[in-house]
Amino acid sequence: MTAPLIDPFARPISYLRVSVTDRCDFRCVYCMSENMTFLPKKELLTLEELDRMCSTFVRLGVEKLRITGGEPLVRRNIMTFFRSMTRHLDAGTLKELTLTTNGSQMVRFASDLWDAGVRRVNISLDTLDEQKFADVTRWGRLPQVLKGIDAAKNAGLRVKINAVALKGFNDDELLRMTEWCAERDMDLTWIEVMPMGDIGNEDRLDQYWKLDDLRTQLAQHYTLTDLPESTGGPARYVRLEETGQKIGFITPLTHNFCESCNRVRLTCTGELFMCLGQEDNADLRSALRNHPGDDAPLEDAIRSAILRKPKGHDFDYSRQTVDGRVSRHMSHTGG
Ligand code: SAM
Ligand code: SF4
């Protein structure tokens, strides 16, 4: 029996988020600059290396894999990787295979994802207004994403919408987005904007919309019931009694969720980040590439990385400066 991954604060690590590419077909203003320099291909884990990496984590007790990026569905032949993970679902060792996507490629891939065993997807959508969508994503087009959402639902996938809460941008769409999701039987999660990466001139503090305010506004129109469930992450959920919908609030900056943290993040270059808000990481790619036929050094590298998982993160907006800012891009670590 392989011993499970337990960190120094007795938290079992059962959830791995994997960024499979740093590239994207959008340039969301809070995530990327318009002129991004992407990594050379040889830096990226190959699809075979991604398989070996994820399979090792599954062997060490990871039960949930979330594939992210960048935009995971723009990685060439990514379905090969999804299909290769199906064997762990079939074996019962992996309980959930899922992804976070901007939805732009969903028309093409929805039924392949279903066939690979994916049952739920998170699709990011910050606004229902075509012009605002074009503004916030710079390169994205709303109708394409709406078609993608329909395709995902038609393929049988359960869709949750993720929206970044931006003051002066989508605060006026709170009710419209809620109703639109309710009509389609979709849950909706709001994410507080985080201080990630160097993305140009945007001042994140100006855009910061506190989710407490959002919740208060929602409570003026709906009956909110707190849900006890925790996913081991920074999301808290309420049910809207009138619609039956679940609304999530991801508040990595204002809430202390760290004590129940069950996750680590693998970048597309094979670095393992033990905490979203800290720079410390472990180079798993060397452990993997230097020992082609032997997973033992990789297992050791993973175990010693987990022993360095910190108690919590350092984001802090409290003095109106972005203390604890991490310099890497969200698209590198995976959101
Ligand atoms: N491209 C995919 C997408 O957009 O869903 C997956 C990667 S994206 C980095 C994952 C999530 O992170 C998206 O929901 C996105 O809105 C969110 N995100 C990106 N930058 C963020 C930031 N600075 N603060 C909060 N959320 C952010
Ligand atoms: Fe691309 Fe997702 Fe970042 Fe937008 S949030 S630029 S869609 S990776």
Q: What is the pLDDT of residue 233?
A: 78
What's the pLDDT score for residue 332? 62
Specify whether the CB–CB gap between 69 and 268 falls below 8 A. yes
pLDDT in tens, 101-135: 999 999 999 999 999 999 999 999 999 999 999 99
Question: Which amino acid residue places its CA nearest to atom 2 of ligand 1?
Answer: 101
Amino acid at 152: A
Strands across the sheet containing 235-240: 224-227, 235-240, 246-250, 187-192, 158-165, 120-124, 96-101, 64-68, 15-19, 263-266, 271-273, 281-283
On the CB side of 195, CA atoms within 13 Å amount to 21
**DSSP code of residue 171:** G
pLDDT single digits (tens) 166-215 = 999 999 999 999 999 999 999 999 999 887 656 655 555 578 899 999 99
Q: What is the pLDDT of residue 258?
A: 81
| 102 Cβ closer than 6 Å to some ligand 2 atom | yes
User: From the CA atom positions of the chain, what is the Rg in Å?
Assistant: 19
Question: Tokens 């995902």 label which residue?
Answer: 152
Return d(Cα 173, Cα 62) in angstroms, integer: 37
CATH architecture of 15-333: Alpha-Beta Barrel (3.20)
Atom of ligand 2 nearest to the CA of 70: 8
Q: Which residue has the tokens 């060792």?
A: 93
Q: Which of 28, 126, 198, 208 to mutate to test the pocket of ligand 1 (most atoms within 8 A of CB)?
A: 28
73 lines ligand 2 (CB under 6 A): no
Contact predicate 156/114, CB 8 Å: yes
Q: What per-residue confidence (pLDDT) applies to 234?
A: 80
pLDDT in tens, 37-48: 999 999 999 999
Host H or E run for residue 190: strand 187-192
Q: What is the distance of C-alpha 288 from the center of its chain?
A: 24
- C-alpha–C-alpha distance, residues 302 and 20, integer Å: 18
Non-local (6+) Cβ contacts of 179 within 8 A are 243
- The residue behind tokens 């004590």 is 259
| Chain CA centroid to CA 203, Å | 22
User: What is the Cα–Cα distance from 199 to 27, expressed in whole angstroms?
Assistant: 10
Distance CA 327, CA 278 (A): 10
| Cα separation, 310 vs 313, whole angstroms | 8
Phi-psi region of 71 (alpha: psi -120 to 50; beta: other; left: phi over 0): beta
Nearest Cα residue to atom 8 of ligand 2: 70
pTM higher than 0.95, yes or no? no
Q: How far is residue 310's CA from residue 218's CA, in Å, rounded to a whole number?
A: 34
